[in-house]
Amino acid sequence: MPQVSVTIAGRLYRMACGEGEEEHLQGLARRLDGKITDLRAHFGEIGDQRITVMAAITMADDLSEAERRIAALEADVAEYQREREAGAASIEAIGDRVAATLDDAAARIDKIAGSLNAPRG
């Protein structure tokens, strides 16, 4: 299992990760470190543990909001798919009605043509 060294809040941590996930883990650590840096700039030195918890809660809130937005978008997509299916069914029904109307018209034309061609006595 690969080992990765990351720096978070000025401290070096050695972590294990899955094969091929090294860059992803390093990127996550950079994001957390950046959040801690931003919070320190805003709140000052309030203690490592407290600032780390604040960063984790802030990132969890961001994740929660992203999950809420994804769920809303998935609901929108599902609704659009239902509407598309209903539209396709409606188009098919219209096509069936047009075909039936054309069949009726053709039958009437045949009947009229037959009566015009019939011998008159």
pLDDT of 108 reads: 93
- Cα separation, 65 vs 87, whole angstroms: 33
Query: What pLDDT was estimated at residue 116?
Result: 83
Secondary structure tally for the chain: helices H, strands E: 2, 2
| Strand (E) or helix (H) holding 12 | strand 11-16
User: pTM for the complete prediction?
Assistant: 0.65
| Rounded mean pLDDT for each run of 10 residues along the chain, 121 residues in total | 94 95 96 96 90 96 98 98 94 93 93 82 61
Q: What is the DSSP letter of 20?
A: T
The rounded distance, in Å, linking the Cα atoms of 47 and 55 is: 12
Annotated domain spans of the chain: 3-117
Question: What is residue 121's predicted lDDT score, i.e. its pLDDT?
Answer: 61
The Cα–Cα gap between 83 and 7 comes to 50
